[in-house]
Amino acid sequence: MKKRLLLPLLLAPALALADDAHTVIQKGRRFSVPDIAIRAGESLTFTNNDEFIHQIYATGLFDSEERAPGQNLTEAFPTAGTFEVRCHIHPKMKLVVHVN
Ligand SMILES: [Cu+2]
């Protein structure tokens, strides 16, 4: 019985995070979606599923460290507006974020 209780406890933090976070995958030098709509105050989590390093930046919002394959990066979008998220390493990567 104790073993069956363990799994929900381990999953709880991940589910809580998924509630107000959205995930965008970086793969094949592209973002998994060209654009995404979120609400002000929500965050986007970027997962590097490529075999090389990525980073992300949005002018005026954030300019991240470089992230190795398999790593995640979460950035908050506190104010409404339309923002372009890009990667310094791969200039063609572009994600448009509509923050409502
Ligand atoms: Cu990149």
Q: In the predicted model, what is the mean pLDDT of residues 20-31?
A: 90
Q: pTM of the prediction?
A: 0.78
Distance CA 63, CA 86 (A): 9
The reported pLDDT for the residue numbered 31 is 97
Q: Separation of 87 CA from ligand 1 center, angstroms?
A: 5
pLDDT tens, position by position, 76-92: 999 999 999 999 999 99
Per-residue pLDDT band at 75 (split at 50, 70, 90):
very high
* Centre of ligand 1 from the C-alpha of residue 81, in Å: 23
| pLDDT for residue 1 | 52
According to CATH, the superfamily of the domain at 20-99 is Cupredoxins -  blue copper proteins (2.60.40.420)
Name the average pLDDT for the chain.
Answer: 87
* Domain ranges within the chain, ordered by starting residue: 20-99
User: Distance, CA 13 to ligand 1 centroid (Å)?
Assistant: 28
Ligand 1 centroid to residue 43 C-alpha, Å? 19
Which residues lie closer than 8 Å to 77 by C-beta, 6 or more apart? 38, 40, 41, 42, 43, 44, 61, 83, 97, 99
